[in-house]
Amino acid sequence: GDKAFAQFLTDEIKEEKKIQKHKSLPKVSGGWELEVHGTEAKLVRKIAGERITVTFNINNSIPPSVDEETQDDQKPDEQEPDLTSTPNFVVEVIKDDTKQTLVLDCHYPEDEVGHEGEEESDIFTIREVSFQPTGESDWKDTNYTLNTDSLDWALYDHLMDFLADRGVDNTFADELIELSTALEHQEYIKFLEDLKSFVKCQ
């Protein structure tokens, strides 16, 4: 059984490498520097007096596929739609002269994907906003967290503009999807390769 499994994995890896769009990870425009630690990626950008970091994790970032109706009578080419990774991402804005970090928790709403024809709508939303002490890795639950569900629209728009002024806008969000998808695919292939060596290991 293990032999067949290893053979299957070998073929699968070949196929996945064939459809891999990016041999190296795509860049995000606007002077962002990328750091990757396993499934977590961090983009960092410095502007006058501020440091902006965007962190996301590719685990569980591929939304479940909706179209269950795919019957077997499809041409084999069409079977798999492109999987897209749309991770939640956290934006931290750190001002050099304060001890606080403004943290904005953003995500891609599931129903927004494929929204051609609408006027300029944002492809991501801000879910929560809070202040956290700069440099602390553990965020405190005792800090007030603003949930945007019940937020005044004008304030929400200002927050979105505040992010856009720092380079976190629709273009960025599009490029983040592309980067995350490439990273997810790269990790998936690596996982298959690890699984193959694990299965083969006597």
pLDDT at 59: 95
Q: Residue 99's domain spans which residues? A: 26-59+90-111+125-192
Report the percent of the chain where pLDDT is more than 70.
Answer: 84
Cα 55 to Cα 94: distance, rounded to the nearest angstrom: 14
pLDDT at 77: 46
Q: What is the CATH number of the domain that holds 39?
A: 3.10.280.10
pLDDT at 30 over 60: yes
pTM confidence score: 0.84
Contact criterion met (CB below 8 Å) for 83 and 181: yes
Count helices and strands in the chain by DSSP H and E runs: 3, 7
> How sure is the predictor about 16, in pLDDT bands with cuts at 50, 70 and 90?
very high
Average pLDDT over residues 66-79: 45
pLDDT at 91: 97
Burial class, 199, CB count within 10 angstroms (exposed 0-12 / middle 13-18 / buried 19+): middle
Q: Is residue 83 part of a domain?
A: no
* Beta strands, E only, the chain: 33-37, 40-47, 50-57, 89-95, 100-107, 125-133, 145-147
Backbone angles phi, psi at 133, to 5 degrees: -65, 130
Average pLDDT over residues 25-40: 94
Average pLDDT over residues 9-38: 92
* Among candidate residues 200, 179, 178, 181, the one with its CA nearest the CA of residue 189: 181
Q: Is residue 120 part of a domain?
A: no
Tell which wins on pLDDT, 78 or 93. 93
pLDDT at 150: 85
pLDDT at 114 over 80: no
Burial class, 162, CB count within 10 angstroms (exposed 0-12 / middle 13-18 / buried 19+): middle
Tell which wins on pLDDT, 136 or 171. 171
For the chain, the domain total comes to 1
Q: Is residue 64 part of a domain?
A: no
Q: Is residue 85 part of a domain?
A: no
Contact criterion met (CB below 8 Å) for 114 and 177: no
Q: Is residue 70 part of a domain?
A: no
pLDDT at 120 over 60: no
pLDDT at 122: 87
Q: Is residue 160 part of a domain?
A: yes
pLDDT at 80: 54
pLDDT at 136: 67
Q: Is residue 80 part of a domain?
A: no
Q: Is residue 156 part of a domain?
A: yes
Average pLDDT over residues 170-180: 96
pLDDT at 68: 43
Burial class, 91, CB count within 10 angstroms (exposed 0-12 / middle 13-18 / buried 19+): buried
